Chains A and B, each alone.
Chain A
Amino acid sequence: DQQVKQNSPSLSVQEGRISILNCDYTNSMFDYFLWYKKYPAEGPTFLISISSIKDKNEDGRFTVFLNKSAKHLSLHIVPSQPGDSAVYFCAARRGGGNKLTFGTGTQLKVEL
């Protein structure tokens, strides 16, 4: 049972444009959400997070939006850069717990 879903396995965007990565979840107990970025042969690195008490969190070029009623979150990257090309994982956590539940990832390719 996949509780965190990333339905787009890949996304291709032109440099300078906006990249939008989507994530859906089914467990209403999740109250903290994170995005991780992963380059080949490296471990995931934390990018940005959002608590369920917020609907938006921004950090530089990265903004995460949370729609609790739709159980949906999205990561916006603007402007996209070639160095943003990586696999992006959405993750969720419940109640200050220790486990992260991850989606299957979206491969972002930013083209020149």
Chain B
Amino acid sequence: GAGVSQSPSNKVTEKGKDVELRCDPISGHTALYWYRQSLGQGLEFLIYFQGNSAPDKSGLPSDRFSAERTGGSVSTLTIQRTQQEDSAVYLCASSFRPGGGDTQYFGPGTRLTVL
């Protein structure tokens, strides 16, 4: 079975441009998470989707960041007017259901470099 996939694997952009990062979760997983890992840092929670509930956006660092999840499956993380400090690996994870000890399965990540 396919795992979590993310695209692109690498993205280089110029400061001020908008970028979109895509995540395809494992089929049947209702929960989807975005994290990012900056250089020398741990994974930082960004946003969480669960079914049709309102997403938990508490980890988004600024209003330049937004995410959506269409049809309860694919998710897109959008960063507007990118800044150099946005450079990081952006990781998506999915789980069958939230909490309850369910394991989050991670994709390979998108490495974003903002020049």
Cα distance A97–B48 when bound, in Å? 11
Cβ < 8 Å to B, chain A residues 12-39: 32, 34, 36
Give the nearest-CB partner of B91 in chain A: A43
Cβ < 8 Å to B, chain A residues 38-91: 41-46, 49, 51, 89, 91
- Establish whether residues A100 and B105, one from each chain, have CB atoms under 8 Å apart when the complex forms: no
- Establish whether residues A89 and B106, one from each chain, have CB atoms under 8 Å apart when the complex forms: no
Known contacts A97-B99, A98-B33, A99-B56; decide if A105 and B108 are in contact (CB<8 Å): no
Question: Interface extent on A, as a size class?
Answer: 20 to 34
| Size of interface on B: residues with Cβ below 8 Å to A | 28
Q: Is B7 on the interface with A (CB-CB < 8 A)?
A: no
Q: Is B104 on the interface with A (CB-CB < 8 A)?
A: yes
- Establish whether residues B99 and A44, one from each chain, have CB atoms under 8 Å apart when the complex forms: no
Chain B residues positioned under 8 Å from A89 (CB to CB): 42-43
The distance from the CB of B26 to the nearest CB of chain A, in whole angstroms, is 12
Chain A residues positioned under 8 Å from B42 (CB to CB): 2, 4, 6, 89, 101-105
Contact bitstring B45-64, A, C-beta under 8 A = 1, else 0: 10010100000101100000
8 A–B contact pairs at CB < 8 A? A2-B42, A42-B108, A44-B91, A46-B103, A46-B105, A98-B33, A99-B33, A99-B45
Interface residues of A (CB under 8 A from B): 2, 4, 6, 32, 34, 36, 41-46, 49, 51, 89, 91, 93, 96-105
